[in-house]
Structure 1
Amino acid sequence: MKLQSQLNVAFTALLLVILAVTGYVIYSMILEMLIDNEKTELQQKGELLVDVLNEQYRPQGNVQDFGGFLEDQDLQLFLYDRRQNQVLMSTMPEQYVKGFSANDYFAETREDLWEAGNSKFVTSRILIYPEQTSLELILLTPLTDLQVIQQDFFRRLILVFLIGTIAAVFLSYLLTNKLVTPLTKLKKQLKKIENRQFDKIERVKATGEIKEVEQGVYDMATELNRYMKSQQAFFQNASHELKTPLMTIQGYAEGIRDNVFDDDDKEKGLEMMVTEVNRLKKIINEMILLAKLDSEQTEYQPARIKGSELIDQVLGRAFPLVSENDISLEHVVDEQSVFFADQEKLLRALLNLTFNAIRHAHSRVEITVKHKTIMVEDDGEGVSEDLIPHIFHRFVKGKTGETGLGLAIARAIIEQSGGKIMVEKSELGGAKFVIIFPE
């Protein structure tokens, strides 16, 4: 069963249960309300009759005078003498008088609902001349009259419920259709993602949580598309980077084999082959490291690291390169800075950034550590605007770059440690790499 049908069935079932319970409660309460209302009306009629009797007939008036007046009122009533426990006058058949007497309803003043045979009556009792006599006026209304009103009211209520149910089911269909339609469209977009048709992805109009899901699907498709393109670019760049040293090694090897070179050229060729082998080895090692960083969480062993100790290690290892390039390496470190990361790998990331800054700097490199932020900047030419969005991708490098994997490794290490890295323009004139770790 489709989701829309399931929602409509569930909503309709819930609505029917609610209406059934509501109808039962109302049906039960309406009769009690009608009885209470009828008792009030009988009380008012009785009090009006007693007022007339008190005004027109004095206590000296006889019962026959009362009876004649009461019979003219077209009411179901009894004139009852409490003191003698006797019905003096009645407008109802004798069978009811006997039935009520047998049940002792006349003497029992607390009973409001009288029963005789299969008939029930709502009653109200009013004293006549309470100071001087024991006469009592008892008015009655058949319960069947109230039940007719109850059933008529309930039939109208059922009609209202029926119309309301139809309207509610119709609205439920419209609302569920509005709810399910975006999900159906999302299913089609997911099928396009499955078939890698990223260029055919369309946005789906939705609201609420479904809009959040739609945004998540769109972001996922965008990221998958970017990832696949980056993988394609990675393999293309990797094949190019590996092919270049291999071609160099192959050329010198074939020349030496065929005795094309003299002794000096052979020596030079062997040195070049060793250089290219080392370069090839470095590229392969960095590719392996990147693969491990992306796939093996166990490669990380986070611990508390003092910022000052970390920068001291960076300065010590960068000293030879600084001296070789005649670069000024300055640093400002907040002694209270502490980071939680894998020390060896974070050191590797900072060395990659520092060595990169030294190679591109004209004369100055600065390392700044403040609280949870590390900044490495230089006074070189900086990163071009078109290269900034891709600078941390694999095999993306500037004019004087080496393998194009150093920044990708730094990004992988920092993101695996819970931080983020970005590049921007430095006030020194060159590039500024900013690393921010969570609290």
Structure 2
Amino acid sequence: MKLQSQLNLAFTALLLVILTATGYVIYSMILGMLIDDERTELEQKGELLIQVLNQQDGSIGSIEEFSSFLRDQDLQLFLYDRSQDQVLMSTMPQQFVSEFKEKNYFADDQEELWDAGNNTFVTSRILIYPDRTGLEMVLLTPMTDLQSVQQDFFQRMILVFIIGTIAAILLSYFLTNKLVTPLTELKHQLKKIEKRKFEDIERVKATGEIKEVEQGLYDMATELERYMKSQQAFFQNASHELKTPLMTIQGYAEGIRDGVFEADDREKGLEMMVTEVSRLKSIINEMILLAKLDSEQTTYQPEQIEAAEMIDQVVDRAFPLVSEKGIELNHTVVENSAFYADQEKMLRAFLNITFNAIRHARSRVDITAEKKKITIEDDGEGVSDDLIPHIFHRFVKGKTGETGLGLAIARAIVEQSGGGIMVKDSELGGAKFIITFPE
């Protein structure tokens, strides 16, 4: 079942439950309200009759006259003498009088609903002479009249509920259609992503959480497209980087086999083959390492690392290259600088960035550690603006770069440790690599 149908069905079921409960409560309450209103109306009628009679004659006069007056009013009533417990006059059949007397309704002034046979009556009692004889007028209305009003009201309420239900269902269909339509369009966009038709992806108009999902989907498609292009570039670059030493090795091997080279050239060729094999081995090892860093989180063993200790190790290992190039390597560490990472892999990352800075520096490389940030900068030519967005991608290298994997490995290690790495221009004139770690 489609989502829109499920939402409409759930909303309709909920609406029916609410309307049924509401109708039951209203149906139960309406009869009580009608009884209270009818009792009040009977009381007003009785008081009005006494008031009219008093205005005509100045006094009520004899019981016979009063009874005659009441019989002419077309009302269901009794004239009851409380002091003698006697019904003096009735506009109802004698059987009702007898049954009411048997059930002691006249003497019990607390009973408001009187039953006789299959009939129930709403009553109201008005004292006529409260200061003297205790004469009462009892007015009655059959419950059947009130129940007919109740049924009529209930039928009208059912009609209103039906119309309201139809309107609510139509509104629900409109709203759920408005809600589900963006999801349907998102499904079509997902199909395009599945088929890798990134250029055909269109933005979907939506609001609220669906808009956030749409934005996440669009960002995912953009990132996936970028990743696939980077993978294509990676395989192209990898094949190129691997092909170059293999072609060199193949050329010298075939020359030696065919006797093209003389003794000195043969030795030179063998030496070149060994060099290219070492270079090829280095590229393959770094590719394997980078693949493990990207895919195996379990290879990380984080621990608390003191920045001063880590930088000392970097300086010690970089000393031969610094001495060879005549570079000045400065390092500054603020006290209590520490971070949480895998010590062995983070040392590899720092060495890759430092060696990269040394290769590109003219005369100076500075390493600075303060709290959760470490910067490595040089006074070389820096990184060109068009290369900055791709500097940490695989096989991207500058003029004096080696395999083009060192910075990619450094980025993978830092990001897997929860940190971040970026590059920008240094005040020294070259590149400035900034590594940050979370608190």
TM-score range, shorter chain: over 0.9
| Structure 2 partner of 1:246 | 246
Q: Judge conservation of contact 1:54–1:129 (CA < 8 Å) in 2.
A: no
Give 1:361's aligned amino acid. A
- Partner SS for 2:217: helix
Q: Partner residue of 1:127?
A: 127
The one-letter amino acid paired with 1:63 is I
| CA contact 1:59–1:129 (8 Å) conserved in 2 | no
Is 1:395 aligned with 2:395? yes
Task: Tell me if 1:102 matches 2:115.
Answer: no
1:348-427 aligned at under 5 Å gives the runs: 348-427=348-427
Paired residue for 2:48?
48
RMSD: 1.7
Counterpart in the other structure of 2:323: 323
Counterparts of 1:166 and 1:427, CA distance in 2:
73
1:183 aligns with 2:217: no
Structure-2 residue corresponding to 1:286: 286
CA distance, structure 2, for counterparts of residue 418 and residue 106 of structure 1: 91
Asked if the contact 1:189/1:201 (under 8 Å) is kept, the reply is yes
CA distance in 1, matches of 2:70, 2:373: 102
The alignment status of 1:82 with 2:82, answered yes or no, reads: yes
Structure 1 residue 264 and structure 2 residue 264: aligned?
A: yes
Once the two structures are superposed, what CA deviation does each residue of 1:289-315 show, in whole Å capped at 9, x if it has no partner?
011111111110011111111111111
TM-score, scaled relative to structure 2: 0.96
Corresponding residue of 2:274? 274
- CA shift for structure 1 position 224: 1.7
The corresponding residue for 1:117 is 117
Letter in 2 for 1:49: L
Larger deviation, residues 389-398 vs 203-212: 203-212
Residue 365 of structure 2 aligns to which amino acid in structure 1?
V
Cα shift at 1:264: 2.4
Instruction: Compute the displacement of 1:271 (Å).
Output: 2.0
Query: 1:38 & 1:366 partners in 2: Cα distance?
Result: 99
In 2: Cα distance, 1:205 partner to 1:355 partner: 50
Deviations 1:28-59 (A, max 9, x none): 11111111111112222223334455666788
> Take 2:345 and 2:161, find their aligned partners in 1: how far apart are those partners?
71
Deviation string 1:62-99 (CA, Å, 9 cap, x unpaired) is 21122122223332211101111111011222222122
Matched, 1:144 2:144: yes
Once residues 379 and 41 of structure 2 are traced to their aligned partners in structure 1, the CA distance between those partners, rounded to angstroms, is 101
Tell me the equivalent position of 2:203.
203
| Gaps in structure 2 of 5+ consecutive residues | none
**Amino acid aligned to 2:196:** R
CA–CA distance in 2 between the matches of 1:314 and 1:300?
A: 20
Cα separation, 1, equivalents of 2:357 and 2:273: 29
Q: 2:235 matched to which residue of 1?
A: 235
CA distance in 2, matches of 1:100, 1:315: 114
Of the structure 1 ranges 388-397 and 198-207, higher mean CA displacement relative to structure 2 is found in 198-207
Structure 1 stretch displaced more, 39-48 or 97-106: 39-48
Matched position secondary structure for 1:268: helix
Where does residue 73 of structure 1 map in the other structure?
73
Q: State the alpha-carbon separation in 1 of the partners of residues 3 and 384 from structure 2.
A: 52
Give the CA deviation at 1:268: 2.1
Conserved 8 A contact 2:80-2:89: yes
Question: Does the CA contact (< 8 Å) of 2:54 and 2:60 recur in 1?
Answer: no
Distance 2:337 2:88 in 1: 107
Q: Partner amino acid for 1:263?
A: A
Please list the CA deviations of residues 262-289 of structure 1 after superposition, one character each: whole Å capped at 9, or x if unmatched: 3322222222222111111110110010
CA distance in 2, matches of 1:267, 1:251: 14
Q: Which residue of the partner structure matches residue 303 of structure 1? A: 303
SS of structure 2 residue aligned to 1:92? coil
Matches within 5 A, 1:153-164: 153-164=153-164
> Match for 2:256: what amino acid?
I
Q: Is the 8 A contact 1:300 1:342 kept in 2?
A: yes
* SS state at 2:245 partner: helix
CA distance in 2 between counterparts of 1:426 and 1:37 reads 91
1:295 & 1:140 partners in 2: Cα distance? 90
Q: Report the CA distance between 1:394 and its aligned residue.
A: 0.6
The separation in 2 between residues aligned to 1:129 and 1:418, in whole angstroms, is: 97
Deviation sequence 1:14-39 (CA, Å, 0-9, x none): 11111111111111111111111111
Query: Could you tell me whether the CA contact under 8 Å between 1:59 and 1:132 is conserved in 2?
Result: no
| SS of the residue 1:375 aligns to | strand
Q: What amino acid does structure 2 have at the position aligned with 1:413?
A: I
Q: Is the 8 A contact 2:60 2:66 kept in 1?
A: no
Q: Matches of 1:168 and 1:60 in 2, distance apart? A: 61
Deviation, 1:254, is 2.0
